[in-house]
Amino acid sequence: MSETVNTPTPVALITGGSEGLGLALTSALLGRGWQVVTDGRDAARLTAAVASLSGQITALQGDVRDPGHRDDLTDAVRRLGRLDLLVHNASSLGRTPLPHLEDTTGTELHDVLDINLVVPLEITQSLLSLLTASNGVLVSITSDAAIEHYEGWGAYGASKAALDHLTLTIGEETGVRAYAVDPGDMRTRMQQDAFPGEDISDRPLPTSVVPRLLNLLDARPPSGRYRATDFDHEPAGSRK
Ligand SMILES: NC(=O)c1ccc[n+]([C@@H]2O[C@H](COP(=O)([O-])OP(=O)(O)OC[C@H]3O[C@@H](n4cnc5c(N)ncnc54)[C@H](OP(=O)(O)O)[C@@H]3O)[C@@H](O)[C@H]2O)c1
């Protein structure tokens, strides 16, 4: 299906924008005058996030694993008439404390693959024609666990490795700029869940990653897998 772009204001869909990196990126894009569609499962958390933001935001409470909720997200984007940025950010570690693979059930692996891999593909498929028509960018938030092998991170790491693969293959197949971006460790609920009871105050806040993501978006490098720290510097002649 071909689509036409009928609004001048850039639009982003960021899954999981009620806290952590998703919220920080949502806030920054709203500050740039973008319209942002986002979501989160916990209604109170999402409401608090929206209250902390100003700008044109559509925040839909729900779980990205729910097809009806995904329809609501994609319908909201279509109503806005364009899609300049699709960010697969919502993600699951699976069971915590993180189990070894020998103790990981098939059901647990399926669940992690569903949210971290299958759901991003399905959302991308729904919005691909609009993303293409808008000359938009696909960003999948990945992890060093996709390429390193850490005890307990097998299911999550495999899901992120596969997400990288799907993301970059979509770039090959469609010509959409497609990036798998490793944000690095961040001081978030997910990080705390991965290291229960540990002091994670040495990890940088997710807001520190956002300028790098914005630099990436401004630079529009070739599709590929990047670390956010690859974009510490603004590209020459960047537009704000
Ligand atoms: N934190 C790190 O150190 C780190 C390192 C490398 C990569 N990453 C990646 O960075 C991304 C962001 O992580 P983060 O640390 O910012 O996570 P976070 O602080 O836990 O935030 C996750 C966000 O996603 C939402 N979410 C989670 N599951 C969802 C679902 N099924 N449906 C809809 N929304 C959902 C959460 O809200 P609800 O819980 O209310 O749904 C929340 O808004 C993830 O892809 C993660 O894998 C993180």
Residue 239 CB contacts under 8 Å (≥ 6 apart), including other chains: 218
> pTM score, two decimals?
0.97
Measure 188 CA to ligand 1 centroid, in angstroms.
8
pLDDT for the residue 239? 47
Domain span holding position 166: 11-230
Residue 238 near residue 221 (C-beta atoms within 8 A) = no
Residue 226 CB contacts under 8 Å (≥ 6 apart), including other chains: 179, 180, 181, 182, 216
pLDDT of 63 > 90? The answer is: yes
Atom of ligand 1 nearest to the CA of 141: 45
CATH number of the domain to which 155 belongs: 3.40.50.720
- The pLDDT tens digits for 143-160 are 999 999 999 999 999 999
Measure 21 CA to ligand 1 centroid, in angstroms.
7
Whether residue 2 lies inside any domain: the answer is: no
CB of 164 sitting under 6 A from ligand 1:
no
Whether residue 4 lies inside any domain: the answer is: no
CA 185 – CA 145 distance, rounded (Å): 11
- How much is the average pLDDT of 34-47? 98
User: Over the chain, what is the mean pLDDT?
Assistant: 96
Split at pLDDT 50, 70, 90, the class of 240 is very low
pLDDT of 4 > 90? The answer is: no
CB of 90 sitting under 6 A from ligand 1:
yes
Which residue of 19, 69, 148, 209 sits with most ligand 1 atoms within 8 Å of its CB, as the best mutation to test the pocket?
19
CA 44 – CA 19 distance, rounded (Å): 11
Atom of ligand 1 nearest to the CA of 24: 16
The first and second tokens of residue 232, run together, are 């510490």
Nearest Cα residue to atom 20 of ligand 1: 190
Query: What's the structural domain count of the chain?
Result: 1
Whether residue 3 lies inside any domain: the answer is: no
Do you know the residue count of the chain?
240
pLDDT for the residue 238? 57
pLDDT for the residue 203? 98
Atom of ligand 1 nearest to the CA of 119: 31
Which residue of 116, 117, 186, 198 sits with most ligand 1 atoms within 8 Å of its CB, as the best mutation to test the pocket?
186
CA 82 distance to own-chain centroid = 18
pLDDT of 23 > 90? The answer is: yes
Residue 161 near residue 146 (C-beta atoms within 8 A) = yes
Whether residue 237 lies inside any domain: the answer is: no
Beta bridge partners of 35: 11, 56
CB of 213 sitting under 6 A from ligand 1:
no
Whether residue 220 lies inside any domain: the answer is: yes
Measure 140 CA to ligand 1 centroid, in angstroms.
12
Whether residue 133 lies inside any domain: the answer is: yes
